[in-house]
Amino acid sequence: MRITILVFFLASQLLSAQEAEAVKLYNQAISKAKAKDHDAAQKLYSDAIAIDPLYPSAYYGRATSYMSQKKYKEAISDFGKTLKLQPEHAKANYYKGYCEMQSKNSKEALLSFSRAIKQDPSLTKAYYYRAYIQMKAKDYERAARDFEQTITKDPDNAKAYYNLGICYKKLEQKEKAQTAYSNAIEINPKYVPALYERLKHAFSLKDYTNTIADATSILAIEADNTDAMNYRAMSYLKSEDYPNAQKDFAQLVTLDPTNEKAWINKGVVSIKSKDYNTAVSDYTALIELDPDNQAYYKNRSASYMQIEEWEGARGDLSKLISFNSQNADAFYNRSNVHLQLKNNDMACKDMTRAAQLGFKKALEYVAGICSQ
**Residue 339 resides in a domain:** no
**Residue 353 resides in a domain:** no
What secondary structure, in 3-state letters, does 45-78 show? HHHHHHHCCCCHHHHHHHHHHHHHCCCHHHHHHH
Residue of higher predicted confidence among 240 and 371: 240
Q: Is the pLDDT of residue 184 over 70?
A: yes
- Phi, psi at 265, each rounded to 5°: -65, -35
Alpha carbons within 13 A on the beta-carbon side of 338: 20
Q: Is the pLDDT of residue 9 over 80?
A: no
Per-residue pLDDT band at 372 (split at 50, 70, 90): low
Helix (H, G, I), strand (E, B) or coil at 357: coil
**Residue 310 resides in a domain:** no
Per the rule left: phi > 0, alpha: psi between -120 and 50, beta: everything else, 70 is left
Q: Total structural domains in the chain?
A: 1
Contact between 103 and 84 (Cβ < 8 Å): no
**Residue 260 resides in a domain:** no
**Residue 88 resides in a domain:** yes
CA atoms of 66 and 83, how far apart (whole Å): 16
C-beta neighbour count of 152 within 10 angstroms: 11
- State the DSSP H helix or E strand holding residue 169, giving kind and residue range, or none if neither: helix 158-170
Q: Is the pLDDT of residue 171 over 70?
A: yes
- Looking up residue 35, the CATH number of its domain turns out to be 1.25.40.10
* CB-based contacts of 92, cutoff 8 Å, min separation 6: 60, 63, 79, 82, 83, 86
Per-residue pLDDT band at 364 (split at 50, 70, 90): confident
pLDDT at 11: 42
What does the pLDDT look like over 218-264, one tens digit per residue?
A: 999 999 999 999 999 999 999 999 999 999 999 999 999 999 999 99
pLDDT at 85: 96
Per-residue pLDDT band at 2 (split at 50, 70, 90): very low
**Percent of the chain, pLDDT > 70?**
96
How many angstroms from the chain centroid is the CA of residue 133? 18
Per-residue pLDDT band at 79 (split at 50, 70, 90): very high
What does the pLDDT look like over 13-45, one tens digit per residue?
A: 545 777 888 889 889 989 989 999 999 999 999
Q: Which domain holds residue 111?
A: 14-120
342-364 average pLDDT score: 90
CA atoms of 277 and 357, how far apart (whole Å): 32
Average pLDDT over the chain, rounded to an integer: 93
**Full-model pTM:** 0.83
**Residue 83 resides in a domain:** yes
**Residue 256 resides in a domain:** no
Q: What is the DSSP-derived secondary structure letter of residue 225?
A: -
Cα angle value 241/247/253 (rounded, 5°)? 130
CA atoms of 48 and 23, how far apart (whole Å): 7
**Residue 231 resides in a domain:** no
Q: Is the pLDDT of residue 66 over 70?
A: yes
CA atoms of 213 and 218, how far apart (whole Å): 9
Per the rule left: phi > 0, alpha: psi between -120 and 50, beta: everything else, 26 is alpha
